[in-house]
Structure 1
Amino acid sequence: MCARSSESTPQRGFTMIELIAILILVGVLAAVAMPKLDTAVSLRNDTARDEVLAALRYAGQTAQSHRRLVCADVSATAVTLRIATNRPASACDTALTGPDGSASFTSNPGSSTFTLSPSGTMYFQPDGRVTSDGAGTTASARSLAITGVGSITIGGETGLVR
């Protein structure tokens, strides 16, 4: 029987030079890729802001064009709209669906959360005002803060959403 010597057995593993080269390559790739990932997250938050902005503008335009009360409820991650089936009305009783057929107007693909100040349902009146009650007696300016993006303001007397 022939004994194998340690010299004839091939060595396995990486050399120190190969390991250093891989670490340098990973470092360069990370330096290039990380800013692009931050940009992607920022774009998702901007998308959430744009969807909320469009939903609130849609609420105001629908209230005026249909001459009906439209109610907007803002949760931490979505905006839902309802419309009154009769007029005059002080409450909304039918879901107002978005372009995709769902009652929720935001998909919130990023990590954004929504905070409405002052909180509560927004009532878009047929005359263009935004009020804090369905009867339309008190105009209410609102601010909707979106984490990572900024805020949206809603004018009480004008109903302007920007």
Structure 2
Amino acid sequence: MRSVGRFTVSGFSMPELVIVIVVASVVAVSVIPKFDTALGLRDDAWRDQVLAALRYGQKSAVAHRRLVCVTVNSTSLSLRIASANPASSCNSDLRGPEGSAVFATNGDSSSTTAVAPAGVIYFQPDGRATSDGAGTTVSSRTVSMSGVSSITVNGETGYVQ
């Protein structure tokens, strides 16, 4: 603070402002890459949830000797199971960790998740992955997600990797 005539002037001097800007810049440069890492971990967690749910669906089909239907979209993955065998459609929810048919949820609505070829993945009682509930067309699938490596479902064996 200094006095100029009858008035008192207060504030920061130019060197103080420059020092604050330099310190803020250094902090920003060191912290911003860590945010990218945190966002990458969120993408990895979504991939891991999808991978685990697909494996669970395939193993459940074999263990219960029932058709299991897997529906994947950008923000969730759900599983349904047929109540009888043989079946060409799934009519009951396969309960997930939270008691619902939704096994995996993605909190990042801006990320993209796609199944190629598109459509429901049907795990047959023998473990194969097909594009129809009747099991006539074996279909290998790829689940692609933004920011992480894709997941492959082998049609002949149902193996998820």
- Partners of 1:123 and 1:131 within 8 A in 2: yes
Q: For residue 100 of structure 2, what is the aligned residue in structure 1?
A: 102
Give the whole-Å Cα distance in 2 for the aligned partners of 1:39 and 1:11. 45
Q: What TM-score, normalized to structure 1?
A: 0.93
Segments of 4+ in structure 1 off by > 4 A? none
Pick from 60, 64, 69: which aligns with 2:62? 64
Deviation per residue, 1:57-99 (Å, 9 max, x gap): 0100100111110000111221111000111111000111211
Please say if residues 74 and 106 of structure 2, whose CA atoms lie closer than 8 Å, have aligned partners that are also in contact: no
Q: Deviations over 1:106-133 (max 9, x none)?
A: 2213343211000011110110100111
Is the aligned partner of 1:157 residue 2:161?
Answer: no
Letter of the 1:156 partner, please give it.
Answer: G
Structure 2 match to 1:74: 72
The TM-score with structure 2 as length reference comes to: 0.93
Larger % of strand: which? Answer: 2
C-alpha deviation, 1:36, in angstroms = 0.7
- In the alignment, structure 1 segments of 5+ residues that lack a partner are none
Matched position secondary structure for 1:106 = strand
Structure 2: gaps of 5 or more residues: none
Query: Aligned letter for 1:126?
Result: P
Q: How many residues align?
A: 158
Q: Where does residue 24 of structure 1 map in the other structure? A: 22
State the distance in 2 between where 1:154 and 1:107 align: 20
Distance in 2 of aligned mates of 1:31 and 1:6: 40
SS in 1 for 2:23: helix
Structure 1 match to 2:10: 12
Higher Rg: 1
Distance 1:72 1:126 in 2: 14
What CA distance in whole angstroms lies between the structure 1 residues aligned with 2:24 and 2:100?
A: 44
Preserved CA contact (<8 Å) 1:48 1:112: no
Q: Does 1:119 align with 2:124?
A: no
Identity across the alignment (%): 52
Q: Structure 2 counterpart of 1:129, which letter? A: R
SS in 1 for 2:61: helix
The Cα of 1:8 is off from its aligned counterpart by 4.5
Conserved 8 A contact 1:116-1:142: yes
